[in-house]
């Protein structure tokens, strides 16, 4: 977008221009391969009334997740267990968290493995979510909905 030249300049000025890739718009089917190349999967902000899908993608791809410490994020992520959370109201907190993860490879690896395990342990998949919705519909309507095969 229009901020790209400025961001590229900031990366260059910070001495990391050669290590930062600005992809522009990416086709949906290419996202997983790009996210898999991340050292740190950053969720810089999250709407407090939504469940950010990006976080689930990061978890499923086994990335070290860095996200704001807020209630809806804590429904899935636990600081120091499967992610590193930062106080988004505190100036510099995100930067310090990024530096912590960049400088601690062991922590990054532990968080990445725990992130992937979270998906499996909590069954955070589209298919399992569809099953939960069908079960809720059955409970609300007192009937058994027909089993629908969820397309992947």
Average pLDDT, the chain: 90
Cα gap 85→77, rounded to integer Å: 8
Segments forming the whole domain that contains residue 140 = 122-152
Is residue 9, in this structure, part of any structural domain at all? no
Is residue 26, in this structure, part of any structural domain at all? no
User: Using one digit for the tens of pLDDT, what is the confidence trace for 93-128?
Assistant: 999 999 999 999 999 999 999 999 999 998 888 888
User: What is the 3 state secondary structure string of 89-113?
Assistant: CCCCHHHHHHHHHHHCHHHHHHHHH
Residues 111 and 130 in one domain: no
User: Using one digit for the tens of pLDDT, what is the confidence trace for 9-45?
Assistant: 999 999 999 988 888 899 999 999 999 999 999 999 9
Overall number of domains in the chain: 2
- What pLDDT was estimated at residue 130? 87
**Helix (H/G/I), strand (E/B), else coil: 29:** helix
Cα gap 87→97, rounded to integer Å: 10
Is residue 137, in this structure, part of any structural domain at all? yes
Is residue 22, in this structure, part of any structural domain at all? no
Residue 120 burial class via C-beta count within 10 angstroms: exposed 0-12, middle 13-18, buried 19 and up: exposed
Residues 116 and 133 in one domain: no
Residues 48 and 114 in one domain: yes
Contact assessment for residue 90 and residue 82, using Cβ atoms and an 8 Å cutoff: no
User: Using one digit for the tens of pLDDT, what is the confidence trace for 44-101?
Assistant: 998 888 888 899 999 999 999 999 999 999 999 999 999 999 999 999 999 999 999 9
Contact assessment for residue 58 and residue 41, using Cβ atoms and an 8 Å cutoff: yes
Positive or negative CA dihedral for 143, 134, 131, 51? negative
The whole model's pTM is what? 0.77
């Amino acid at each position: 977008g229009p901020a790209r030249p400025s961001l590229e300049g900031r990366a260059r000025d910070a001495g990391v221009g050669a290590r930062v890739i600005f992809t522009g718009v990416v086709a949906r089917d290419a996202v997983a391969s790009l996210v898999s190349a991340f050292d740190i999967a950053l969720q810089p902000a999250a709407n407090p009334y939504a469940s950010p899908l990006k976080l689930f993608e990061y978890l499923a791809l086994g990335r070290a997740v860095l996200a704001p410490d807020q209630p809806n994020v804590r429904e899935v992520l636990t600081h120091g267990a499967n992610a590193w959370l930062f106080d988004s109201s505190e100036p510099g907190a995100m930067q310090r968290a990024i530096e912590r993860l960049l400088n601690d490879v062991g922590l990054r690896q532990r968080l990445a493995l725990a992130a992937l395990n979270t998906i499996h342990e909590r069954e955070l998949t589209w298919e399992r979510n569809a099953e939960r919705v069908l079960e809720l519909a059955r409970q609300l309507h007192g009937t058994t909905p027909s089993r629908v095969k969820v397309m992947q």
